[in-house]
Chains A and B, each alone.
Chain A
């Protein structure tokens, strides 16, 4: 058990809909990362938050957005869903060695499996 929790475990929805995925980092971790894992694209980094602020952005679509709240949990919002958004979405957390600096080992949650029909 990594200490990172994600809800829900599974989500089935229809095209055009909007969903919210939730992540609680390990106790004390300030950084949260979101990843998308699909069969054809592998593991893609989406976005990172550090202590409530966006820190790094990867291949995140404009239809997707995220935020990190004062209690450090994070939510990933996916809107106008398309069939191709079906994937496993992972959250990871870490505690940077230097405040705001380069982070190190990430701890991954079990993922949310999103199916868009």
Chain B
């Protein structure tokens, strides 16, 4: 089957700390992988994506590399800011046209 597993939160970091949010997936075929972000009181927004193995998605200082050998798509940022406080969702889109989301990881960045 298809599923996404991401690290449980909440995660609390100091400003300028390094961020890693782990995401692993199970899928048949070759899915596309996504990270979405949900700011307080808002809907989800696409943060970055990768459509094939070894692709690196990047946006706003965040990066994630599609690793087929480890079925992973970990999200990283070198220096987080208070404005990065949000819930982050890892997701996959399988060849059957269905999206599967992880449960979300809440990040709080303190000054």
Q: Encode B84-111 as 1/0 by CB contact (under 8 A) with A.
A: 0000010001011111111110000000
**B residues less than 8 Å from A108 (CB atoms):** 36, 43-45
Asked if A104 and B93 sit within 8 Å, CB to CB, the answer is: yes
A76 to chain B, nearest CB (A): 15
Given contacts A42-B101, A43-B89, A45-B100, contact A105 B46 (CB under 8 A): yes
A72 within 8 A of B: no
Q: How far is the CB of B15 from chain A (nearest CB, A)?
A: 27
Q: Which of A12-67 contact B (CB under 8 A)?
A: 33, 35, 42-45, 48, 55-56, 58
Given A43-B89, A102-B97, A90 and B32 touching (CB < 8 A)? no
Bound CA span A109–B44, Å: 8
Q: List 25 A-B contacts (CB under 8 A).
A: A42-B102, A42-B103, A42-B104, A43-B44, A43-B103, A43-B104, A48-B97, A48-B98, A55-B97, A58-B98, A92-B43, A102-B93, A102-B95, A104-B32, A104-B93, A105-B34, A105-B46, A105-B49, A106-B44, A106-B46, A107-B46, A108-B36, A108-B44, A109-B43, A110-B42
| Contact flag A43-B101 (CB < 8 Å), given A2-B43, A104-B32, A106-B46 | yes
Complex contact A111–B43 (CB within 8 A): yes
**A residues within 8 A CB of B49?**
104-105
- Asked, given contacts A2-B45, A43-B89, A111-B43, whether A56 binds B104 with beta carbons under 8 Å apart, the answer is no
Contact check: which of B43, B93, B100, B102 meets A4 at CB < 8 Å? B43
Alpha-carbon gap, A106 to B100, bound state (A): 12
Interface check A115, CB cutoff 8 A: no
> Which 5 pairs from chain A and chain B are nearest by CB?
A108-B43, A42-B103, A43-B101, A108-B44, A110-B43
